[in-house]
Structure formats: structure tokens, C-alpha cells
Structure 1
């Protein structure tokens, strides 16, 4: 642990030097604690509920707006399935041309 005083201690020392109480000093310098009645019932933003196109499970889309799948496993499974489909389509075209 560092021996540096924290913010509250520094403000308390500054208030003593200014000759005022801690509360008056904080009020003069723009610190206004939140009123609990204003913050009650307000939760953190949750995001958008989406359905994974791979497995059909619901998930919450948070800060990452490009998130389409519920997990990395579903994303990889979808990419592998798409690659197999492209490979199969390419092989079928080759058979049609040569056949």
C-alpha cells in the first residue's frame, strides 16, 4: 500500500487550512453527494435482448454492437458450417462443368 493520503484526507486538510468545516469546503468546491431518493430503483443499463441464430438461445447484447451470437462457440460453429457449405457448392459447380 502506498503512503499517499487519499482524496478525502486531502480535502479534509485543505478544509482545515481554509478554516472551514469539511462539509462547507466540499459544498464550496462543487461536490454534491447524490440523493438516495434519486438513485433508488435505477439499475445499470442492461442492453438489448437478442436470439442467437446458431442455437436459438437468448442473450444480452451489451457494449459490443456487432455481437450476433451468444458465445464464441456458436460463432465458430456458424463459420465452419458456412465454410462447409461454400466448399460443397464449389465442388458441385466443378462437377456440373466437368460432367
Structure 2
């Protein structure tokens, strides 16, 4: 709980200086310089299944690397997971770093 928090860091957003994390600040978020024009964004959702089991939520998205490099990817959405994975070839192409873990997926 917040009242038991031992962290003594103050918020640096707009000179707030209260003791909460910057992400919890109530001011409006700053606009990103690389923000995509909302009128150019295509939205869609596909639920794909084989008729024998659960449907999988899949969405097409653009993944960005730290230098702005991007790739069009298919994302499997699973609200029950606690980690995210990316294919090794995509991570390398985007210049991403992280832990390598071999994962086997079966249907």
C-alpha cells in the first residue's frame, strides 16, 4: 500500500514534488513526437480457430525498435499471460535486446 511505501522519491512532472511515481501523475500525458495520425490507423481484430477448441485473438501491428526501425507483425493476444515474447529474427531486425528463451508452442 502507498502509505507503507519506503520510497522517498518525489514526482518530477511539471514541478509536482508529491511523493508518487511519475506514471501516477494526474496531468495529461505529453504528446509523442513520433505519434501516428489517428486518421491513418487501421483497426481490426481477427479471432481464428479450428472449430475444435478456443479461439485465438490475433491482431496485426507495427513493432518499433529504439532507433525507429519498424516491422509489421502478427500479435497473439492472451490476457492471461504474464510475459511477452517476440521472434528472435524480428527482435534482431529491430535492434532489440533481452533474454533468449526457447519456447515450444503446440496446438
TM-score w.r.t. length of structure 2: 0.21
Who wins on radius of gyration, i.e. which is larger? 1
Q: Determine which structure has the larger helix proportion and give its number.
A: 1
Q: Determine which structure has the larger strand proportion and give its number.
A: 2
